[in-house]
Structure 1
Amino acid sequence: MTQREIFFVANEVNELGGVGRWQTQMAGLFAERGHRVRIIGIAPPGAPMDLGENPPFETLTLYDRRPAGRPGRRTLGRLAPSVRSHVANRQAAADRLSALFRSAGPGAVIIVTQVWAMEWVALADTAGCLVIGMSHESFEACRNSSRYGRVRRYYKDVDRMLCLTQEDADLWAAEGDLNNVGFMPNPLPLTPGTSSPRTEKAVVSIGRLSHEKGVDLLLDVWAEAAPRQPGWILRIHGAGEYESALRRQCTELGLDDSVEWAGQTGDVTGALGRASVFVQSSRGEGFPLVLLEAMACGVPCAAFDCSPGVREIIRDGEDGLLARHGNTSQLAERLVRLMAEENLRDTMGERARENVRRFAPEVIVHRWEKLFTFLER
Structure 2
Amino acid sequence: MRALARKGKSAMVRLYRGYNRRKVQKAPPPSTRQVRILLLHANGMGGTIRTVFNLASYLAENHEVEIVSILKEAEEPFFPIDPRVKFRFLDDRLKPSPDPLRAMLSKMPSRIIPKEESAYHRFNLWTDLKLTRYIRSLDTGVLMGTRPGLNLAMAQLALPSVITIGQEHVALRTQAEPMQELIKWRYRRLDALVTLTKADLKDYRETLPKKPRKLTRIPNAVPPMTGGTAKLDAKVAITVGRMTRIKGYHRLITAWETVAAAHPDWTLRIFGAGPQEDNLRLQIAEAGLEGKVELPGPTSDVGAELEKASIYVLSSRHEGFPMTILEAMAKGLSIVSFNSPHGPKEMITNEVDGLLVKPRTNANLAASISRVIEDEQLRRDLAARALETARTYDVEVIGQKWDALMAELLARRNGTYVRPQPATPAEEPGDTPESNVVELRPPCP
| TM-score, normalised via structure 1 length | 0.86
1:321 to partner: Cα distance: 0.4
Residue 15 (1) aligns with residue 44 (2): yes
Cross-structure match for 1:314: 348
Which blocks of at least 5 consecutive residues in structure 2 are unaligned? 1-30, 94-105, 115-123, 412-416, 418-445
In 1, distance between residues paired with 2:326 and 2:399? 16
Alignment of 1:214-253 (within 5 A): 214-253=248-287
Cross-structure match for 2:54: 25
Matched residue of 1:282: which SS? coil
Report the AA paired with residue 126 of structure 1.
Answer: L
Q: Report the CA distance shift for 1:278/1:91 in structure 2 as closer, same or farther (over 3 A).
A: closer
Report the AA paired with residue 172 of structure 2.
Answer: F
Residue 162 of structure 2, aligned match among 129, 136, 147: 129
Cross-structure match for 1:111: 144
Q: Report the CA distance shift for 1:364/1:154 in structure 2 as closer, same or farther (over 3 A).
A: same
Q: Can you list the C-alpha shifts for 1:73-92, whole angstroms capped at 9, x where unaligned?
A: 9xxxxxxxxxxx959x8467
**For structure 1, which segment, 124-133 or 203-212, has the greater mean C-alpha deviation from structure 2 after superposition?**
124-133
Residue 385 of structure 2, aligned match among 340, 346, 351: 351
Residue 160 of structure 1, aligned match among 179, 183, 192: 192
In 1, distance between residues paired with 2:167 and 2:382? 32
In 1, distance between residues paired with 2:130 and 2:289? 55
Q: Can you list the C-alpha shifts for 1:100-130, whole angstroms capped at 9, x where unaligned?
A: x22xx4xx22211122223442453423332
Q: Report the CA distance shift for 1:359/1:145 in structure 2 as closer, same or farther (over 3 A).
A: farther
In 1, distance between residues paired with 2:73 and 2:192? 27
Contact 2:220 2:398 in 1 (8 A): yes
Report the AA paired with residue 65 of structure 2.
Answer: V
Aligned residues: 357
Alignment of 1:62-73 (within 5 A): 62-64=90-92, 68-70=109-111
Cross-structure match for 1:77: none
Q: Report the CA distance shift for 1:48/1:122 in structure 2 as closer, same or farther (over 3 A).
A: farther
Residue 174 (1) aligns with residue 174 (2): no
1:203 to partner: Cα distance: 1.1
In 2, distance between residues paired with 1:365 and 1:175? 28
Cross-structure match for 2:290: 256
Contact 1:235 1:262 in 2 (8 A): yes
Give RMSD over aligned pairs: 2.7
Report the AA paired with residue 16 of structure 1.
Answer: M
In 1, distance between residues paired with 2:227 and 2:178? 42
Contact 1:42 1:117 in 2 (8 A): no
Report the AA paired with residue 297 of structure 2.
Answer: G
1:183 to partner: Cα distance: 1.5
1:284 to partner: Cα distance: 2.0
**For structure 1, which segment, 223-232 or 61-70, has the greater mean C-alpha deviation from structure 2 after superposition?**
61-70
In 1, distance between residues paired with 2:158 and 2:236? 53
1:13 to partner: Cα distance: 3.3
Which blocks of at least 5 consecutive residues in structure 1 are unaligned? 74-84
Cross-structure match for 2:67: 39
Residue 98 (1) aligns with residue 139 (2): no
Residue 302 (1) aligns with residue 336 (2): yes
1:326 to partner: Cα distance: 0.7
Larger of the two Rg values belongs to structure:
2
Cross-structure match for 1:6: 35
**For structure 1, which segment, 170-179 or 58-67, has the greater mean C-alpha deviation from structure 2 after superposition?**
58-67
Report the AA paired with residue 270 of structure 1.
Answer: A
1:191 to partner: Cα distance: 5.1
In 1, distance between residues paired with 2:349 and 2:249? 23
Q: Can you list the C-alpha shifts for 1:163-196, whole angstroms capped at 9, x where unaligned?
A: 1111111012111424233211111113566320
Report the AA paired with residue 27 of structure 1.
Answer: A
